[in-house]
Structure 1
Amino acid sequence: MTIQIGQALPDLEVAVIEEGAPVRRLSTASLFKQGRVVLFAVPGAFTPTCSDHHLPGYVQHYQAFRERGVDVIGMAVNDAYVMQAWAAVQQVPPGLRLVADGNGSFTRALGLEFDGTAYGMGLRARRFALYAEDGVVRQLHVEAPGEFRVSTAEAMLLAITTSEARTAG
């Protein structure tokens, strides 16, 4: 079952790549338990839309998220070494973390996996972005197959800004 707005994110161990450093294993609870975080997921590192648009959008707009007090984490069902290489090639800025969900455990716990076996990809994450506060999902934007609209950095910035304006007003 897909995670829902208002639910806490599941707690599992994942590999985290940050600032080009060697991989660290962390619990997802430690990544999400405090503060405001956008988690975006891509079907695969080095795949066309993911490398040409999805991650680059978050790299480009990373400072705008930070100015709003929002951390950014990107995730794919790839091994940690692939994610580390992808971070280097994409020039991921310090502070923007990438999560390697190598076996897809966190993706499955979120209920956001898809079977890409027909394409030689095996289990993968659906393309999505979620916004969490203190480990609880506040917004969830899952792309329809073949789409790339609601999980972009620009869409998430707009969604967060709109939500903040509603709360303030």
Structure 2
Amino acid sequence: MTAEDRCELGKAPGPNARKAGDRVPDVTFRLRRGPEWIETSTEKIFGGRTVVVFSLPGAFTPTCSSMHLPRYEELAPQFERLGVDEIVCVAVNDPFVMEEWGRNESADKVHLLPDGNAAFTRGMGMLVDKSDLNFGARSWRYSMLVRDGVIDKLFVEPDKPGDPFEVSDADTMLRWLDPKAPRPDEIAMLSREGCEFCARVKSAFAEAGVAYTDISLPPLQRARALRAITGAQTTPQVFVNGKLVGDSEATLKWLASRGQPGA
């Protein structure tokens, strides 16, 4: 952090932060794509397009990795159906860190944008002092909808101690775009390798286009884990939105009740 930054920056965005109706800062970004350097600009990203942006303190940090980025990645199809051309994540990190974070998080729908020199974040008025965490100058957490380079809606986290995460999340942005937009079911399946009934459910999910998380149980702990979690001893066991649906037969019936093909 420069001496100038230390004099100017506070713990939260100041009164000069950009707001709805302002244009985004005009800057150039350098990114890594494998062995190559690539340059892009705010004009290329935002010009003539509708873009959702969310910014966070840093790659690999707990809230950013466990909730902020994954949920935008998960809801990307819903944003696309509402006319959003791209989802961009901005962080004051270097290109190598952002590239590796994207690989680590399997992020292929969200465009990770390294703002290593903090030019964009400073221009937004969102650069803050996090030297108490040994971070130096980083971005405040916020999200915004940008249409053709102009900020249409801005959600800025409140000025509270710690790392507030209340309004810049993907669900808040999605609700603002369309209060009636359907949310995808949260589905997890306890399975085991070589289970033909598990394979049948996976095939049905794939044919229906249903996203799910597969949790393959290790052999030595499988029986105890199944009994403790579901009260059953066979796989698969499927959960939807926190509730146990049951085995393969129950899951296929659940799919059929939703009018899904393959059930």
Aligned to 1:156: 173
Q: Distance in 2 between the 1:132 and 1:23 partners?
A: 26
Shift of 1:147: 1.5
RCO comparison, higher one (Cα < 8 Å, 6+): 1
Pair 17,136 (structure 1): closer, same or farther in 2 beyond 3 Å: farther
Number of the residue aligned with 2:145: 131
Distance in 2 between the 1:17 and 1:152 partners?
Answer: 26
How far has the Cα of 1:103 moved from its partner? 1.3
Paired residue type of 1:126: W
- Which amino acid is 1:5 matched to? A
Q: Is the 8 A contact 1:127 1:142 kept in 2?
A: yes
Once residues 60 and 98 of structure 1 are traced to their aligned partners in structure 2, the CA distance between those partners, rounded to angstroms, is 15
Aligned to 2:23: 8
Aligned length in residues: 161
What amino acid does structure 1 have at the position aligned with 2:80?
Answer: R
Q: Encode CA deviations 1:123-162: one digit per residue, 9 max, x unaligned.
A: 0000000001111001000112422121101111011114
> Counterpart of 2:18 in 1: which secondary structure?
coil
Equivalence for 1:167? none
SS across alignment from 1:72: strand
Q: 1:45 to 1:132 in 2, by over 3 A?
A: same
Q: How far apart are 1:15 and its partner, in Å? A: 2.8
Secondary structure in 2 matching 1:61: helix
- 2:89 aligned with 1:74, yes or no? yes
2:37 and 2:53 map into 1 onto residues whose CA distance is 18
Q: Distance in 2 between matches of 1:3 and 1:124?
A: 16
Matched ranges for 1:81-120 at <5 A: 81-93=96-108, 95-120=109-134
**1:9, 1:29 within 8 Å by CA — same for their partners in 2?**
no
Q: How do residues 15-54 of structure 1 correspond to structure 2 at under 5 angstroms?
A: 15-16=30-31, 22-54=36-68
- When the two chains are superposed, the root-mean-square deviation of aligned CA atoms in Å is 1.8
Please name the residue that 1:57 is paired with. 71
User: 2:55 is paired with a residue of what secondary structure?
Assistant: strand
Deviation readout 1:21-64 (Å, 9 max, x if unpaired): 85521111211111211000010000000001100111111111
- 1:147 equivalent to 2:161? Answer no
Letter in 1 for 2:99: Q
Helix, strand or coil: the match of 1:138?
strand
* Distance (Å, rounded) in 2 between the aligned partners of 1:23 and 1:63: 29
Matches of 1:38 and 1:16 in 2, distance apart? 19
Relative to 1, partners in 2 of residues 1:102 and 1:85: Cα closer, same or farther, differing over 3 Å? same
Structure 2 counterpart of 1:140, which letter?
Answer: L
CA distance in 2, matches of 1:54, 1:96: 11
Q: Which amino acid in the other structure matches residue 167 of structure 2?
A: V
Paired AA for residue 170 in structure 2: A
Is the Cα–Cα contact under 8 Å of residues 8 and 135 in structure 1 kept in the other structure? yes
**Unpaired stretches in structure 2, ≥5 consecutive residues:** 1-15, 180-263
